[in-house]
C-alpha cells in the first residue's frame, strides 16, 4: 500500500475538523451516500488510495487551493458506483464485442474476485454480486447458465448480471441502492465468474470501461 493509504489509516475520526467535512460535502454533489462513500469518490478523483478513510493525505487534498472536478459522468447518474463483486473484482481477457451474439459478439465483461495466481483464475464461486449503482430491479430469471438479474438505473442505463446462483436477494419492481446484495456467483461453470453487461439506450457498451469512467470502487 502506498503512503497515502497508510497515512490515512492513522488518524482518528474525532480529529477531522468540521470545515473539512463541509468541504467534502460541498464537493460531493451526488447523493444518496454517506461520508465513507463521499471520501472514496473524492480520493479517486484526487488520485489518492481509495479506502474511504479521511486521514492526512485526504485532508491535505481538501485543503488544496483547487479541488479535483466533481464526480460527474456522461449519463448524469448519481453515485456512488461500485465494482459488481463485493470486495472488488478484476476483468478477464475475454473482451467486450458489440456484434450480435450470432456473430460471436460478447456483450459483457467476465469478472473474477481474489488474486490471480500462476495456477490459473481464482475460484469465484459464492462471491457476492452487488448492485453497482442504485436502480430498479426489472428481471430475475434463471437460465441454463445460471441466474440473471437485470436492473434499470435510469438515464437509459440497464445492467445485466449473469452466472449467479439461487433465487436472488431481490425481486422485480424492487428499488435498491448501490451496493445491495443480488446473489452469489454460481459454481456450475467450468470457470465460475460473473458476466456483467451494461446497455445504454438499448445498445451494449464495454462495462469495464464504463465503470472505470464512472470511478467505480470496491465495496467490502
Q: What secondary structure letter does DSSP report for 196? A: E
Enumerate the β-bridge partners of residue 136: 152, 175
Q: Give me the residue label for grid cell 446484495.
A: 181
Span 102-128, pLDDT tens digits: 888 788 898 888 766 555 667 788 999
Q: Which long-range CB contacts under 8 A does 6-12 form with residues at least 24 apart?
A: 7/55, 7/56, 7/57, 8/48, 8/49, 8/51, 8/53, 8/54, 8/55, 8/56, 8/57, 8/58, 9/51, 9/53, 9/55, 10/55, 10/56, 11/53, 11/54, 11/55, 11/56, 11/59
Who contacts 24 (Cβ-Cβ below 8 Å, separation ≥6)? 35, 38, 39, 42, 54, 62
Helix (H/G/I), strand (E/B), else coil: 194 = strand
What domains are defined for the chain? 3-62 (no CATH), 90-208 (2.70.70.10)
Span 35-63, pLDDT tens digits: 777 788 788 888 888 888 888 889 889 99
* pLDDT computed for residue 17 by the predictor: 75
State which residues of the chain have pLDDT below 50.
Answer: 1-10, 12, 30-32
* pLDDT computed for residue 95 by the predictor: 79
Amino acid at each position: 500500500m502506498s503512503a497515502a493509504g497508510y497515512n490515512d489509516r492513522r488518524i482518528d475520526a474525532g480529529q477531522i475538523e468540521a470545515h473539512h467535512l463541509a468541504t467534502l460535502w460541498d464537493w460531493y454533489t451526488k447523493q444518496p451516500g454517506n461520508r465513507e462513500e463521499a471520501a472514496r469518490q473524492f480520493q479517486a478523483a484526487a488520485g489518492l488510495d481509495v479506502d474511504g478513510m479521511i486521514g492526512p493525505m485526504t485532508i491535505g487534498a481538501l485543503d488544496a487551493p483547487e479541488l479535483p472536478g466533481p464526480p460527474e459522468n456522461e449519463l448524469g447518474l448519481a453515485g456512488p458506483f461500485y465494482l459488481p463483486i463485493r470486495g472488488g473484482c478484476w476483468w478477464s481477457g475475454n473482451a467486450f464485442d458489440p456484434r450480435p451474439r450470432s456473430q460471436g459478439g460478447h456483450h459483457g465483461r467476465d469478472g473474477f474476485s481474489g488474486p490471480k495466481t500462476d495456477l490459473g483464475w481464482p475460484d469465484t464461486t459464492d462471491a457476492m454480486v452487488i448492485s453497482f449503482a442504485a436502480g430498479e430491479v426489472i428481471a430475475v430469471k434463471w437460465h441454463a447458465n445460471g441466474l440473471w438479474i437485470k436492473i434499470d438505473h435510469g438515464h437509459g442505463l440497464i445492467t445485466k448480471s449473469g452466472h449467479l446462483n439461487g433465487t436472488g436477494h431481490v425481486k422485480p419492481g424492487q428499488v435498491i441502492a448501490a451496493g445491495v446484495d443480488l446473489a452469489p456467483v454460481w459454481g456450475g461453470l467450468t470457470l465460475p465468474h460473473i458476466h456483467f453487461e451494461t446497455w445504454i439506450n438499448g445498445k451494449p457498451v464495454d462495462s469495464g470501461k464504463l465503470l472505470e469512467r464512472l470511478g467505480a470502487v470496491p465495496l467490502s
